[in-house]
Amino acid sequence: MLRLVCSFLALCFFCQNSLANDGYRVPDSAIFHSDKKHLWNRLHSVFFVREDNQGNKFGGDLVDPYLWPSTTEFLLKGNSPTKAITLLDEFIKGNGHQLIADPLKRAVLQHDLWSIFDWTTNYDKGLPFGGAISPKTKSKELNDSRKALRSRLSKAINLLALDETEALGLINNYSMAVRSGSDLKKLDKTGSERHFLPSTLLTDNSNWVCVRGSLQGPSAPVHMRYYGGRSPFLVFLNLPGGRSATLKYLNALNKSTAAKFAEATDDVTLPQFPEGTSVALVRKMSVITQSGDILVSPLVQTVQIRVYNQVGKDIKDHNACQTVYKFVLNRKDLFASINGGLKPVKKNSIEGLSLIYSSDYFENERLKPNSSVMKSCIDCHSCGGGTIHSIFTYKQDDWVPEAARMSSNKLRLLPTRIIDEQKKAISWKYKRHDWGLLQGWIETISKS
């Protein structure tokens, strides 16, 4: 039943709605350098800025480009691939990577181009809520365009690579955000713009316990798949009683879940966490080093937090039940050392690639989103009420095929370590086809 309700909610995100409204900002084109015409700015914009039919521009300084497996025009047909290839050639042939030496900017641009490379290889795989893949994505014409991009993107990615020391030495923008933004620290339940960045999140042995589900592989498997595994997603749980109360709760929950089968009933009431419990999902940025390895940098790209104000099954107002927070990395602020680049998402914003938007709504007007990013949190996470079932890292079954086949007494929420989860995320990425292809291209470059 839960599963049906959740699928229905997901479908409601797409309705007729104008793209050009308050939920979007005009893209900034001076991100890497104050000169808008600087090669790095032009290169970034060619991939990260989209236009609608009326010529309005969207995107720019967003964590992810507006690209989906179903994208069949942008960068693949008409003028846009020619523009992108010309810029990539200018970058490669003119040693464009030497124009900016700052390791932070190099890492960010590399990660951005990596996301485009991965997009060129993942046109035949579905996304959560994406529906069937159209055969239109597989033509020879499109594949030739993708290949032309791949051959150049791989070179640019390789040219921008940092050595391991430089990559590990990138700033810890989360600590910076916590230190610099006093307004970011306080938990504001009532304000229209909600800010909350806890100082002890991402600290080992703190009150925020890093947790994972029972499935093998990386934590947050849905996000890993949606965002291609270039960024590990870490999940945290924090009960009001601190670390020991959180660990005690996890122990009781896991024992009780395991007992479900023994008692031959699914109705065993599971222990519920108390009011004031928080969960967090943190996305970190990986880079590819000069030695060709993936390394998780200290950079945080997004932070999502939900705080439970009410717990229990019978929630009357889901919006009041959980307070939600989201921060996203803004490159320009990051480079200017403003709040570590982490910006709270505005209440009405519909910007950014999100799990709920699985089709290219610039090319398919029918699928324009009408739910704001912050509203969408509750649309999804109200499934399961104010109970442990709304923590999807525990429940998993709606979203991950392997988990759907697993009996419910096998579900778990297990304490883990940040470093172990990051390693799992890297190993997962190493096994993907898109990584194999990138390796192949990079090897070809080094031989030629």
List contacts with ligand HEC (CB under 6 A). 10, 220-223, 235, 279-281, 304-306, 324, 326, 355-356, 373-374, 376-377, 379-381, 391-393, 399
Nearer to ligand HEC, 161 or 209 (CB): 209
Closest residue to ligand HEC, judged by C-beta, is: 377
Q: How far apart are CA 107 and CA 42, in angstroms?
A: 17
Beta-sheet strands, E only, within 82-227: 209-212
Nearer to ligand HEC, 48 or 357 (CB): 357
Nearer to ligand HEC, 173 or 376 (CB): 376
Nearer to ligand HEC, 153 or 220 (CB): 220
Least CB distance from residue 394 to ligand HEC, whole Å? 7
Least CB distance from residue 435 to ligand HEC, whole Å? 19
| 103-126 CB burial, b ≥16 within 10 A, e <16 | bbbbbbbbbbbbbbbbbbbbbeee
Nearer to ligand HEC, 75 or 353 (CB): 353
Least CB distance from residue 224 to ligand HEC, whole Å? 6
| 341-379 CB burial, b ≥16 within 10 A, e <16 | bbbbbbeebbbbbbbbbbbbbbbeeebbbebbbbbbbbb
Q: How far apart are CA 77 and CA 32, in angstroms?
A: 27
What lies within 8 Å, CB to CB, of 10 at 6+ separation is 129, 356, 379, 380
Nearer to ligand HEC, 65 or 369 (CB): 369
* DSSP assignment letter at 160: T
- Contacts of 255-264 with CB under 8 Å at 24 or more apart are 257/408, 257/409, 257/410, 257/411, 257/412, 258/409, 259/409, 260/408, 260/409, 261/407, 261/409, 262/409
Least CB distance from residue 275 to ligand HEC, whole Å? 16
Least CB distance from residue 274 to ligand HEC, whole Å? 16
Q: How far apart are CA 215 and CA 29, in angstroms?
A: 42
Amino acid at 160: L
Nearer to ligand HEC, 46 or 234 (CB): 234
Least CB distance from residue 221 to ligand HEC, whole Å? 5
Cα end-to-end distance, the chain, whole Å? 57
Least CB distance from residue 266 to ligand HEC, whole Å? 20
